[in-house]
Amino acid sequence: MFFGYSDEEKMLQRSVRDMLKERNSTEYVRGFMKNPTISKDLQRLLAQQGLLGIIDLENKEEKGIVNAIIVSQEAGRSLLTYPLIESMVGLAILKESKQQKQLVDEIELGKKILTVAWVNTDAKARKTEDGFVINGTLREVPFAEDADVILANVRISGYGATAEEEETLVVIDSKHEAVTKLNSQSVDETYPLYEVSLANYPLQQSQLVGRAGMGSGQAKMKKMRQLGSLLLAAEIVGSSERALYDTVEYTKQREQFGTVIGSFQALKHMAAEMYMKVESGKVAVDYAAWTLDTNNEEAEEAVAIAKSYTSSAGIEICGNAIQMHGGIGFTWENDMHLFFKRVRRSAALLGDSYEHRETLATIAIDQLLKKDNKITSESKVDYVEI
């Protein structure tokens, strides 16, 4: 069995890498940090290349998840300043709703920017004569200032017996006057996160993704978070690999006491350890992508392994990259801090390593309990006369 990328997938990887290397260079990223506004040219380019709607969950033969992780790795490698992960995940879910077809077309064509509110603090909707009204706050919304639409999971009062059943996935017009956005000033300035407040925001029936309540929103958001976790893990791998390779090149040029520092045994060992972690992260991400693409029963476990491993490994790799650069690694002019901050943000979003390890522990315990119950039910009891 062949476990590597196909020729088509390798071609996709090369083309995306070359494109982002030219259009999303480090100089461009630093310019974005000073003026955090998404480039219309970059938006149009990503749409023309067909990268935004690359995932199709309704396609039984190939859902495009492997292609999505390839693109996400390259996005991490170049510190892409665009909500690409949110666009890919959001469009994958919107495609399942027939009433959102026009919105899907507008986003895929680059006419509108889509983002996702990953955390609902207290946003809740109530029924009115004309539809619904939402009040509350959404957090961890990437690029909300430039986004045209926000995909959010909110509770609709009366549409379920429990809070979970009331959850409904909705499309929010980010430019509406009832929407207020506040930059959260997150550590990663290349990928700004916002807090979005909704004050009597009018929600029409046409803005619902699927039906109202009855647990539909919870199921859809769970799927989005699973896909998002995997793509974030892939992004971490890309950023970590770029940090490693740039650091190795630096150690081949930097001299200390008349000797190239790359010849020092301690740095060789550190670089080898970093390389091992990068490659291990790639394997974890690739396997998780395969499980999702094939609806394998190990999908939940595989995604949790990928996100937990890459989150901790990525932070260590980029931290070591800064150390190997010496004093210059701690300066603003050096690019290593950009990769370190990107990995830090990606590692924390949608569950850090501890949260996903807790998921793995829960799965392991459940499997053990099922095994014990099966053994108990199948065991025979022999009664002895006294």
pLDDT at residue 257 in the model: 83
Four-point Cα dihedral 41, 45, 46, 49, nearest 10: 170
Which pLDDT belongs to residue 376?
62
Residue 37: what pLDDT? 93
* Pair of tokens at residue 67: 């292609």
Hey, what are 30's tokens?
A: 């630093």
Q: Which of 116, 118, 62 is nearest to 91 (CA)?
A: 116
Helix axes 65-78, 216-253, angle to 10 degrees: 50
Q: Please report, in tens digits, the pLDDT of each residue of the chain (386 residues total).
A: 466 888 999 999 999 999 999 999 999 999 999 999 999 999 999 999 999 999 998 887 788 999 999 999 999 999 999 999 999 999 999 998 888 999 999 999 999 999 999 999 899 999 988 889 999 999 999 999 999 999 999 999 888 888 888 899 999 999 999 999 999 998 999 999 999 999 999 999 899 998 887 778 889 999 999 999 999 999 999 999 999 999 999 999 887 888 888 888 999 999 999 999 999 999 999 999 999 999 899 999 999 999 999 999 999 999 999 999 988 888 888 999 999 999 999 999 999 999 999 999 999 898 888 776 766 666 555 555 65
> With the C-alpha atoms ordered 263, 236, 353, 300, is the resulting torsion angle positive or negative?
negative
pLDDT at 309: 97
Say if strands 167-173 and 149-156 run parallel, antiparallel, or are unpaired.
Answer: antiparallel
Residues 6+ apart with CB under 8 A from 369: none
The predicted pLDDT at position 279 comes to 96
The HSE-up count of residue 135 (CA atoms within 13 Å, CB side) is 5
Whether the CB-CB separation of 253 and 264 falls below 8 Å is answered with: no
Among residues 234, 221, 218, 285, which one has the least CA distance to residue 92? 221
Give the span between the Cα atoms of 327 and 132, in whole angstroms. 56
Q: State the Cα–Cα distance between residues 313 and 281, nearest whole angstrom.
A: 8
Note the pLDDT of residue 158.
Answer: 86
Q: How many CB atoms lie within 10 A of CB 67?
A: 23
pLDDT of residue 316: 96
The pTM of the full predicted model, rounded to 2 decimals, is: 0.92
With a CB cutoff of 8 Å and minimum separation 6, the contacts of 318 are 239, 240, 243, 336, 339, 340, 343
